[in-house]
């Protein structure tokens, strides 16, 4: 027969177990496969052999896809940073600015596909800077958006790029916030100004910049198509840019964000475009 103290402690144990079990059940579905630990990079790769790519724009670059277990398998030659700027082995999700929203982006897919073609001694460093809902004028004005000072944050990541490797390109996906009459008309000029700033601050006038189209599934598709046209108009005047087509990619159910399959495919297309147009042995 159990004594009162024993019954008391057993009751407390059962309550604690029930609380723990309940807390486990309320993890959002989108976070089911989020990594539980970070792996710090102990041996810094050779700077001359490290290709750096900055990911910039708004939510479809920050990622809203469903992260699966396959997206969290690290690769010994794909690095990223944590929120304090430490080098870690890359796992999805790469972006950390909007913890209640962020999901799968195209970064790991991009890096894996690129490494299939790259020399065996190359390491890739992915630097996330995209913030959902940000307009191009906010980037130009260095606005604070969702607690991130957009252009200053880009410059911080650019400094990391210069410290650890060679900046090889910028992956840009943005424009949903500019699909209004004024935004569409002004977009080519604003894009030219912003990308010019990127290159000037990087010290690389011919820095490759890859531009992803908006999807073809919007409730506001007419304006999205006009924004895509504006992106193409700009690209015609920039020989160091490339367009990533997305017309066949599918949304995740919200008619706003690419699903996980679309994000992985977009990463593959970014990699193929960079390799075909900008790789120089």
Q: Evaluate if residue 53 carries a pLDDT over 80.
A: yes
The whole-angstrom separation of Cα 130 and Cα 153 is 10
* pLDDT at position 10 over 80: no
Domains of the chain: 31-278 (3.40.50.1110)
Indicate if the pLDDT at residue 24 is higher than 80. Answer: no
What pLDDT was estimated at residue 58? 98
Separation between Cα atoms, residue 63 and residue 258, nearest integer Å: 8
Beta bridge partners of 88: 40, 80
Residue 132 pLDDT more than 90?
A: yes
pLDDT in tens, 172-193: 999 999 999 999 999 999 999 9
CA–CA–CA angle 71, 52, 117 (5° rounding): 65
Quickly state the pLDDT bin for 25 (edges 50, 70, 90).
Answer: low
- pLDDT of 212 strictly over 70: yes
Taking 90 as the threshold, does the pLDDT of residue 21 lie above it? no
- Mean pLDDT over the full length of the chain: 92
Measured CA to CA, the distance from residue 190 to residue 134 in angstroms comes to 14
């Amino acid at each position: 027969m159990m004594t009162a103290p024993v019954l008391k402690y057993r009751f407390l144990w059962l309550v604690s177990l029930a609380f723990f079990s309940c807390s486990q059940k309320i993890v959002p579905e989108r976070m089911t496969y989020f990594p539980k630990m970070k792996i710090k990079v102990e041996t810094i790769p050779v700077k001359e052999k490290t290709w750096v790519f900055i990911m910039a724009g708004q939510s479809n670059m920050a990622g809203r896809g469903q992260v699966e277990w396959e997206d969290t398998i690290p690769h010994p030659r794909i690095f990223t940073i944590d929120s304090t700027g430490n080098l870690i082995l890359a796992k999805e999700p790469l972006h950390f600015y909007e913890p209640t929203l962020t999901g799968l982006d195209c970064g790991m897919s991009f890096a894996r596909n690129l490494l299939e073609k790259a020399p065996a001694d190359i390491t890739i460093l992915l630097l996330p800077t995209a913030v959902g809902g940000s307009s191009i004028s906010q980037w130009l004005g260095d606005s604070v958006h969702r607690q991130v000072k957009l252009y200053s944050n880009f410059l911080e990541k650019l400094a990391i790029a210069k410290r650890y490797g060679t900046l090889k390109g910028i992956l840009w996906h943005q424009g949903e916030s500019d699909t209004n009459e004024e935004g569409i008309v002004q977009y080519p000029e604003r894009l030219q100004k912003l990308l010019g700033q990127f290159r000037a601050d990087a010290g690389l006038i011919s820095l490759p910049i890859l531009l992803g189209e908006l999807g073809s599934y919007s409730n506001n598709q007419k304006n999205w198509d006009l924004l895509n046209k504006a992106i193409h108009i700009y690209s015609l005047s920039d020989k160091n840019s490339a367009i990533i087509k997305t017309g066949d990619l599918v949304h995740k159910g919200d008619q706003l964000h690419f699903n996980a399959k679309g994000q992985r495919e977009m990463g593959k297309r970014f990699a193929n475009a960079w390799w075909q147009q900008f790789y120089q042995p």
